[in-house]
């Protein structure tokens, strides 16, 4: 096990499934203590067990990020306690993936929930945890953006909006927290082959034809970019977007 993150502590939202699991495992493999989080306790405990079995350190904090400020405050407090009193790394990864739909058919409840989980929770959580990192003079936040937040796609206006918001928040937070030693960056995946994305195969095929690498990313490839950005290898990288998309954003 290499140890670029030895003695660091991390919270990864949405790490009970998909890309978040790979991020949690990759951070732990570099020596970080990782707080795994999501709504599903059984899946979360499985991720913790897998990390522990491979020699890493992790704990689980359940949270439903659609429930607003009180739930986010509780997650921040529980995660900080599990981590032994402070968090060095925050990965704002949790998001609702939305099946493409015409704008006129998207209900208000879906709009509210997507904004709450994909944007508001990350906003509140960063506001709770980044000031403590700043007070210690060091820390790293990674927001999960998306190719969908960098370009427009008909039928995905809501999801794209939430991801574009994460790209924007990275830049504002880089300016706000950078002078205190807290680096904030974005990882922007293209289509990434999780179980859920595999199940949307009919939407995936036309996207792959427009990717220079002609294939989706793997969750592990996205996780490697997150590890790089939170490690000291990225010590003067602030406010950047690292695309892991087979070149899609470049064309
Ligand atoms: N997969 C892709 O192709 C792709 C491409 C570009 C960007 N991204 C971005 O990458 C990130 C991860 O995506 P993914 O594909 O891994 O998604 P995923 O497989 O759907 O996993 C989403 C994670 O978020 C958690 N989550 C969802 N709603 C939640 C809520 N209300 N409260 C707390 N946690 C919640 C889920 O946990 P529970 O079910 O336990 O709540 C799960 O762990 C997202 O930010 C996404 O926008 C993904």
Alpha helices in the chain (DSSP H): 18-29, 41-53, 69-82, 108-115, 121-136, 157-177, 195-199, 201-208, 219-230
Q: Phi-psi region for residue 55, left (φ > 0), alpha (ψ -120 to 50) or beta? A: left
Q: Which atom of ligand 1 is nearest to the CA of 93?
A: 45
The ligand 1 atom at the shortest distance from the C-alpha of residue 189 is 6
pLDDT tens digit sequence for 225-236? 999 999 999 999
Among protein residues, the one whose CA lies closest to atom 25 of ligand 1: 14
Average per-residue pLDDT in the chain? 97
CB of 27 within 8 A of CB of 34?
Answer: yes
**How confident is the model at residue 1, as a pLDDT?**
55
Ligand 1: centre distance to CA 144 (Å)? 10
Q: What is the pLDDT of residues 107-166, one digit of tens each?
A: 999 999 999 999 999 999 999 999 999 999 999 999 999 999 999 989 999 999 999 999
Q: How many CB atoms lie within 10 A of CB 70?
A: 9
Cα(160)–Cα(216) distance, integer angstroms = 18
Distance 235 CA to ligand 1 centre (A): 27
Pocket of ligand 1 (CB under 6 A): 14-20, 38-40, 43, 63-66, 93-97, 117, 144, 146, 163, 189, 191-192, 194, 196-197
Q: Is 59 exposed, middle or buried (0-12, 13-18, 19+ CB in 10 A)?
A: buried
Residue nearest to atom 2 of ligand 1 (CA): 192
Q: How far apart are CA 64 and CA 50, in angstroms?
A: 22
Q: What's the confidence (pLDDT) of residue 233?
A: 98
Domains in the chain with CATH codes: 9-250 (3.40.50.720)
Whether the predicted pLDDT of 249 surpasses 70: yes
Percent of the chain that is helix, strand, coil (3-state, to 5): 55, 15, 30
Note whether 58 and 28 are within 8 A (CB). yes
CA nearest to 89, candidates 163, 11, 156: 11
Question: pLDDT, tens digit, for every residue of 42-58?
Answer: 999 999 999 999 999 99
Instruction: Find the 171 Cα to ligand 1 centroid distance in Å.
Output: 22
Looking at residues 90-94, what average pLDDT do you find?
A: 99
User: What pLDDT score was predicted for residue 2?
Assistant: 77
Which atom of ligand 1 is least distant from the CA of 166? 45
Nearest CA to ligand 1 atom 11: 93
The two structure tokens encoding residue 103 = 């704008």
**The pLDDT value given to residue 226:** 99
Is 159 designated active site? Answer: yes
Contact call for residues 44 and 37 (beta carbons, < 8 A)? yes
Residues 72 and 124: beta-carbon distance below 8 Å: yes
Query: Which tokens sit at 181?
Result: 């030693």
Residue 131 to residue 192: CA distance in whole angstroms? 32
Distance of CA 218 from the midpoint of ligand 1 (Å): 14
Instruction: Give the least confident one: 78-82, 155-159, 200-204.
Output: 200-204
Q: How far apart (Å, rounded) are the C-alpha atoms in residues 22 and 225?
A: 11
Ligand 1 nearest-atom number relative to CA 145: 7
Catalytic residue among 60, 159, 173, 177: 159
């Amino acid at each position: 096990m290499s140890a670029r993150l030895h003695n660091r502590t991390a919270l990864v939202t949405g790490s009970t499934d998909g890309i978040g699991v790979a991020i949690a495992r990759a951070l732990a493999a570099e020596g970080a203590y990782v707080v795994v989080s999501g709504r599903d306790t059984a899946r979360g405990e499985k991720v913790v067990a897998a990390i522990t079995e491979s020699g890493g350190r992790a704990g689980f904090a359940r949270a439903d990020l659609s429930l607003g400020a009180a739930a986010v405050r509780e997650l921040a407090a529980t995660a900080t306690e599990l981590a032994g009193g402070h968090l060095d790394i925050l990965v704002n990864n949790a998001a609702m993936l939305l099946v493409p739909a015409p704008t006129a058919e998207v209900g208000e409840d879906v709009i509210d929930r997507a904004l709450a989980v994909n944007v508001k929770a990350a906003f509140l959580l960063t506001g709770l945890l980044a000031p403590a990192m700043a007070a210690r003079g060091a820390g790293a936040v990674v927001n999960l953006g998306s190719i969908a937040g960098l370009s427009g796609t008909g039928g995905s206006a809501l999801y794209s909006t939430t991801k574009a918001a994460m790209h924007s928040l990275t830049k504002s937070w880089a300016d706000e927290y950078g002078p205190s030693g807290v680096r904030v960056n974005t990882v922007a995946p293209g289509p990434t082959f999780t179980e859920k994305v595999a199940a949307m195969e009919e939407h995936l095929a036309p996207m792959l034809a427009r990717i220079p690498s002609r294939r989706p990313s793997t969750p592990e490839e996205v996780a490697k970019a997150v590890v790089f950005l939170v490690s000291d290898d990225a010590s003067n990288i602030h406010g950047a977007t690292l695309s892991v998309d087979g070149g899609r954003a470049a064309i």
